[in-house]
Structure 1
Amino acid sequence: MNPEVAAAMATGALRTSHADIAIAITGFCGPREGREEVGLVYIGAADADAVRVMDFHFGDIGRRNVLDQAVAAALQIMIDAAS
């Protein structure tokens, strides 16, 4: 779980699809194990021009809530990219 993984996943998804943009999500939803920051999520977005990775710190709000927030953020990134 790191920004490089999110970038590689998004790049790979774009390369193997016929899409104009690809999104990838990686992160740690919990429960806490070791030093991982619960709620830290990286979202990679790739298109023909660039690959961007954003980090989100949702906090220890529960696995389901972290997943929901990550999906909502990814969808917003796609909407913004399409606009």
Structure 2
Amino acid sequence: MATRHDDEALAMLATALAAEMKMLGRRLVTAESCTGGWIAKVCTDLPGSSEWFERGLVTYSNEAKIDLLGVKPGDLHRFGAVSEEVAAAMARGAVENSRADVAVSVSGIAGPDGGTPDKPVGTVCFGWALPDDRVETEIHYLGGEREDVRRVSVATALEGLLSRLT
């Protein structure tokens, strides 16, 4: 039986997202940091994903966020890479620098190191850029090991996008 975050569950989420994206005639771009391309992988594992998946960007470093997504250095300095402000800028920049009209972004601290008292390991920020020029964000505090944080982040990103499209 599938759990919420196992490979089968992630594939089912991606399949539901694919159906919605195709029905709406939308194209997706991903901008990923702590998930390292895992969202793009789950999406492109599906046959026919080229109909709705435009591209995936792994912007792990701050420089990549600046160069590929147009995130402002001042925002990175002021808010930090793991912030709702930067997640929003990543999602917005992904749409602006692609041929997609929908984006999901994720930036977080998967661990085991890198956390601070203000942003502990497991802090993950999500951004969703939607066709009506709306950008929504969420911050989650996830538990578990690095693999758990990353896996739950993939599920959260897909669930969040799907719920915003339906």
TM score, norm. by length of structure 1: 0.87
* Structure number having the greater helix percentage: 2
User: Matches of 1:30 and 1:4 in 2, distance apart?
Assistant: 21
User: Hey, what's the Cα distance between the residues in 2 that align with 1:49 and 1:13?
Assistant: 13
Distance in 2 of aligned mates of 1:34 and 1:62: 13
Give the deviation of 1:4 after TM superposition: 1.2
Query: Structure 1 pair 34/55, CA: closer, same or farther in 2 (3 Å)?
Result: closer
Q: Identity of counterpart residues, as a percentage?
A: 38
Q: Aligned residue for 1:5?
A: 86
TM-score (ref. length: structure 2) = 0.46
Aligned CA-pair RMSD? 1.4
- Select which of 42, 50, 65 maps to 2:125: 42
Match of 1:26 among 104, 107, 116: 107
Higher relative contact order (CA 8 A, sep 6+): 1
**Which is greater in Rg?**
2
Query: Which segments of structure 1 move beyond 6 Å, counting only runs of 4 or more?
Result: none
Q: Which has the higher strand share?
A: 1
Question: What's the counterpart of residue 57 of structure 1?
Answer: 141
Which runs of 5 or more structure 2 residues have no equivalent in the other structure?
A: 1-81
Q: Which amino acid aligns with 2:140?
A: F
